[in-house]
Amino acid sequence: GAVVSQHPSWVICKSGTSVKIECRSLDFQATTMFWYRQFPKQSLMLMATSNEGSKATYEQGVEKDKFLINHASLTLSTLTVTSAHPEDSSFYICSARDLRRDTGELFFGEGSRLTVL
């Protein structure tokens, strides 16, 4: 099946620093990737849609200057949490469509757990 990989799996950082999370599609090209955020014991909330070669589309209430998304190639999207604060601590999950199949399902990465001290 299609494989999506995220790195790092978990990261701890100090308040005020920036953290970059990578999302790669390993065996397929993904023109579109999606970034989700999941608080403990809660559902997944879509943050933004990452489009290769163009600006990301952010969901209402998501600060685009806070969560910078770059989709520079067909296999890589990055999410940068800028000037992180403890309230940014969360589980971030990316997903991608495999256009070869285009059967509707998204394939998810392993997730990245961010803890801001």
Residues lying near other proteins in the complex (CB under 8 A) are found at 1, 32, 34, 41-44, 46, 49, 91, 93, 95, 97, 103-111, 113
Rank residues 57 and 82 by Cβ distance to other proteins and give the closer one.
57
Q: Which residues pair with 85 in a beta bridge?
A: none
Torsion sign over Cα 17, 43, 23, 79: negative
Q: Is 102 exposed, middle or buried (0-12, 13-18, 19+ CB in 10 A)?
A: exposed
With respect to other proteins, which residue has the nearer C-beta, 82 or 91? 91
Which C-beta is closer to other proteins: that of 14 or that of 41?
A: 41
